[in-house]
Structure 1
Amino acid sequence: MFLEITKKRNYKLIDISLKLHQQGIIDPNTYVLDLDTIKENASMLNKEAERLGMELFFMTKQIGRNPAVANAIVEAGIKKAVAVDPWEAITLSKAGIQIGHVGHLVQIPKNMIRTILKLNPDYITVFSYENAKNISDIANEMGKSQKIFLRIAEENDYIYYGQEGGFTLSRLFEDIKKLEALKAVEIAGLTSFPCLLIKENKPSVTPNVASMQKANEFLKEKGYEHLELNMPSATSTETMRLLKEHGATQGEPGHALTGTTPLHTEDFLKERPAMTYVSEVSHVSNKKAYVFGGGFYPRSHMKCALVGSSSTQLKKVPVLQNEPGHIDYYGTLDTDCVHIGDTAIFAFRTQVFVTHAKIAVIQGLSSSPKLIGIYDSVGNLLSDGQTIDNE
């Protein structure tokens, strides 16, 4: 999906990915992250948010909750993270990252609430009164108060399969008095997901935004002023103004940090591509080549790969999408004109935390490349860094 734009805007990343594999420094099934470009992307995102008066929380699930990258993003100006689930919050907190938002998209299991509250997140999203009560009860025991977001999910809102849940407007109207009676939580804002969709390379808001606005008006009538309107999905320098125009006070960039939102197939966006996926040709069968898997993603929209053993011999070959029910042993190339052991380089949308891939973080790509470290898909350091022979 992003192969051509990566060739055009960050070819050195492709080149170093090839060398890392051919030199045996990384295994197949490894994502390579360009730390400097991610940091530049984060800085541009932060500056645009400051210009618009918005707050940003950065998302790391797409890059495997990586602590080295997370800290670089903080250095670039986005100070706090959003955790997709409580385990991500714990991992990031151990790396010294402040948690701005947790509980959205995954609620906090009851017996983990105390652990999460100890991390002092700014906001926790709740899908129901019962979730809010569980948080309030434990926060009260701990002698603290927790700010919460209410997730709005009206019946006709756009919700991805498997991500259902939240307050319909009618449920909010019924539950508001019970929510207000809770001792140790404070309703601080509203959220939903997705608030933006990209269709034919154009961003547009979903019906979820209108539902949030209706909920906000209802709460204003109840005396709530200056509620946060947290509107995640496809947050980038290109889309933030649209979010702001619809009342957003917060955005949550994830794919924009690596230049991999659907909009980033075009070269007019500020953020540059900063991620490749590296595999190796395993074998050829029935006029198709098979590369080692483990890091492929069903919604990747990949089309092609670059295959070869040297930068002067890389050739573009078509990729066959794996079927939804496949086990991720291999990816498939629609060619038999490759050699076993060749490097295969991909660039596509991914969610590293749901794979068993590795992450290689590279710094100094434009001058003296250095491998910062190799990590697993959920942020654990597997091996320390080293200088790379870039000849």
Structure 2
Amino acid sequence: MEHNPEILFIMNLLTNLLTTLFFFTAVETIYLFVFTMAGRFGRLQAPPVSSNPVAKRMAVLIPAYKEDAVIVDTAEQALKQDYPGNAYDVIVIADSLRRDTLDKLAKLPITVVEVSFDVSTKSKALNATLKKLNANYDVAVILDADNVMATDFLTHINAAFNGGWKAVQGHRVAKNTNTSVAILDAVSEEINTYILRRGHRALGLSGSLMGSGMAFDYTLFKQYMGQIDTTGGFDKELEMRLIHDHYRIDYIDDALCYDEKVQSGAVFERQRARWIAAQLKYLRRNLPSGIIQLLKGNLDYFDKVFQTMFLPRVILLGFLTIGTAAALLLRAPNLLMLAGGQLIVLLLSFYVATPKDLKSLITWQEIKQVPGLFFRFLRSITRLGEAGKKFINTPHTTTSTAINEG
């Protein structure tokens, strides 16, 4: 069957454009696969064992902006560590909490620091609190208002800082898997952890921060946070500043911190808009210095800048799926091998990086949600202006009871 020359020209042009696009995505796909395999077959470095371990004094800092639904439960759970009670303080940073919530918090053996801003951000809340605290601490632990630490979390953190580590990311895991979106969000976070933390540390590179479930040398944290005043993504700016100055971010797989997963597509869209806005901001800001640091031998810093060039995983999956389908329609074998091959490699990476307990929760119901989340992710790009100007708070409603409910 002969085709009209104009149709052939358009088909060839489309094939060439898609082929060029998927050569770029191949870089990200291979990157994800390499670090997934490193996470699977490599070994994580344990902190050096101290000859004279001590219980480090810790400040557990919990910024809470309009988090009345969960903050009391979070504070109560934070007091249940198997770590010596006199060696850590739970400090709730109360921003715009209701009076009845403040009254409940006042009855707990914790410190409540009330703050208020015209435009509230986590960096402002943390910096204001750090200026008010007078106690001498060795370690700052940062939680979100919905986070619940496993009872041995601080014990793992203490071992790391007794071993000389300065910045540590714990293993954030799902608090709830009560909706299909929550299950997929949990899978997404575990994949990111496997690749960006476990895989990186297995190859000797610095891990990355997640915004909560993380700990720092207190003096170091106070020093670097004092340089940060950003609307969103304070953890990424902190990460870039630390790694620029050759501070490695370590990772403890056994230090579990339970985190609420988003339960609806609408919340997913708002949250991802905030994440993409932060990613683009730090790409623009750090690309020149990333190249300079690479030339100076700071591979960790360049790697973190390199990551900001990548498409979000859901977008990559969607593009590769569309590309594979287009290759079949265009009868383009080279494009099919390029896009289809990457799709297989990406899905294999996702499979390896997903824990068994989450794999068992994935049914056809969850798979049907993926296309919708892909288009929500695309639509979130239209919210980048809003996300860059004001803090988009993710609402939390799930308490610690969800952990035992599975």
Normalising by the residue count of structure 1, what TM-score does the alignment of the two structures yield?
Answer: 0.30
Normalising by the residue count of structure 2, what TM-score does the alignment of the two structures yield?
Answer: 0.29
Structure 1 or 2: more helix by fraction:
2
